Amino acid sequence: MYYDKTQAEIESFHLQLERSIQNQKMLEGTIEQQNENLKETIQNHELMISQVERLQKENMVAQNEVTDIRKKFSRHSMDVLSIPSGSQS
């Protein structure tokens, strides 16, 4: 009787150990997948930051060009550049 009880406890511990090993493998797989997802997210974030910085530089260049064009036009009288209404055919 004592032997049967001890054997049952050993089998129960063995089953718990097997379950723990399976759970650990599943947990390790999940952690590995999450780490890969984090690496991908970080790479995407860095790519987005570099794209935003590039767009900001392009925007600054465009803004400077617009400012230069406005300055050029402000130096000229728009009356001089307009076509007189009497000279149209």
The average pLDDT across 34-50 equals 98
- Once rounded to an integer, what is the mean pLDDT over residues 37-65? 98
* Confidence class for position 88, pLDDT limits 50, 70, 90: low
Helix or strand run (H / E) with residue 89: none
Per-residue exposure over 18-48, b if at least 16 CB sit within 10 Å of its own CB, e if not: eeeeeeeeeeeeeeeeeeeeeeeeeeeeeee
Alpha helices in 1-89 (DSSP H): 2-75, 78-81
What does the alpha-carbon distance between residue 37 and residue 2 come to, in Å, rounded to a whole number? 52
Q: Which two tokens stand for residue 13?
A: 């511990």
Position 79 scores a pLDDT of: 54
What's the rounded mean pLDDT across residues 53-72?
95
Q: Model's pTM, two decimal places?
A: 0.58
Of 82 and 58, the one with more pLDDT: 58
End-to-end CA distance of the chain: 122
